Structure 1
Amino acid sequence: MSDTPAITLYTTAICPYCVAAKNFLRSKGRDWTEVRIDLDADARMKMVADTGRTSVPQIFIGATHVGGYDDMMALQRAGKLQPLLDGGAA
């Protein structure tokens, strides 16, 4: 799996959609880097600058900004998430 893109999740401690996103990725057998924006103001500013959004989670697969949990699930339903997880284009 070394050629699969890294996953980054911007999260907070009290966020049910963050938990749902992590559970879903775990069910896919994937690991991720979690960035807690409630603990790191600089990370929060970077997330907002990179995404234009203030809500969490914000999910990146490689350099691709997937969006939040609902956005990830929409890609899953459309059959476009797995290719992205595998290193292809959505």
Structure 2
Amino acid sequence: MLWSFIKAHLNSIILVFLSACKQVRFVHEAFKKLQPGIPLKCLHGRMKQVKRMFILQQFVEQRSVLFSTDVSSRGLDFNKGVDWVVQETS
């Protein structure tokens, strides 16, 4: 279902919240192999702060999908805005 949603919104900025770092890494790698036609990024608390800031900058500068734990929900402001926010529960 998430894959279909992303494929239907290729011209959008999409933020997908997942529950764990391992889940973020798994979904990011799996979707990268499927090549959806939109840049895919991942962000989680086990990354160094510098890398997280770099990924966030890339995310807001281009139409892309960001798979993240709740680390990106705390006090971040996306200047361009996010078109879709998805909370994936499983």
Q: Tell me the TM-score normalised to structure 1 length.
A: 0.34
Structure of greater relative contact order (alpha carbons < 8 Å, 6+ residues apart): 2
Q: Tell me the TM-score normalised to structure 2 length.
A: 0.34
